[in-house]
Amino acid sequence: MMKKTAKLFIISGPSGVGKSTVIHRALQNFTDFYFSVSATTRCARPGEKEGIDYFFIGKEEFEKGIQNQQFLEYTCYCENYYGTPRKAVEEHLNLGYNVLLDIEIEGASQVKQHMPDSVTVFIVPPDLQELERRLRSRGTDSEDKIAGRLARAKKEFEKAPDYDYLIINDNVENASQELTAIIQAEQFRYDCRKAVLEV
Ligand code: 5GP
């Protein structure tokens, strides 16, 4: 097999933009990817599964994890902690797997500082009205929570220019094809393939 360097992809975008669907459709096109499952203190939504969507843990356990440096990055988002378990990410990168993180802007900026070669992608909805409609149609959040997530979305949009790529999710199929194209192109970069020339 051709030797190549594993890459870290960071995907951000406001809650409700449809990131999970876009990411999971795109990743079906690849066999060498590890999707990082985050830990969170928020409650599971109907249909979400432990260890697949998130590791749902308590505040105390999360704070112990922070102290023990178990997170590659973490943040407090709409009153809950979210963090990327460090060990799984590092192990998969060392094994040569590409790794994908679905994290918000503050965590993304922490990771980019430590790992400047990571590739960052920002996903936006066609407009804020559409985002509000999608958040409501989920039917899982109170009015207060929806308002909090919309306010946070406005703050997140300001960080979009810091990202390498922008995807507008007005159609899930197109958006996942765009993410697939980004991932493929990144793997053709010289840096990613140069190991093949090293003897
Ligand atoms: P949700 O509650 O809608 O699943 O996620 C809220 C936000 O937290 C999303 O923007 C999601 O990308 C982000 N998020 C999920 N896991 C992590 C994580 O491990 N770290 C950070 N910084 N953000 C995360």
Interval 15-45: pLDDT, tens: 888 999 999 999 999 999 999 999 999 999 9
CA 193 to ligand 1 centroid distance, Å: 31
Q: How far is the CA of 49 from the centre of ligand 1 (A)?
A: 15
Indicate the pairing of strand 33-35 with strand 80-85: unpaired
Atom of ligand 1 nearest to the CA of 84: 19
- The preferred substitution site among 102, 138, 163 for testing ligand 1, maximizing ligand atoms within 8 Å of CB, is 102
Q: Which residues line ligand 1 (CB under 6 A)?
A: 15, 38, 42, 73, 75, 77, 82-84, 102-104, 106-107
Report the distance separating Cα 120 and Cα 101, nearest Å.
10
Residue positions counted in the chain: 199
Ligand 1 mean position, distance from CA 187 (Å): 25
Distance from Cα 191 to the centre of ligand 1, integer Å: 29
In one-letter notation, the amino acid at residue 12 is: S
Taking alpha carbons only, the member of 104, 83, 100, 102 closest to residue 92 is: 100
Question: What does the buried/exposed string (b/e) look like for 55-92 if buried means 16 or more CB atoms within 10 Å of the residue's CB?
Answer: bebeeeebeebeeeebbbbbbebeeebbbbbbeebeeb
pTM (two decimals): 0.92
User: Residue 15 has what pLDDT?
Assistant: 86
Give 198 Cα–ligand 1 centroid separation in angstroms. 38
Q: Which of 70-74, 102-106, 140-144 is predicted least confidently?
A: 140-144
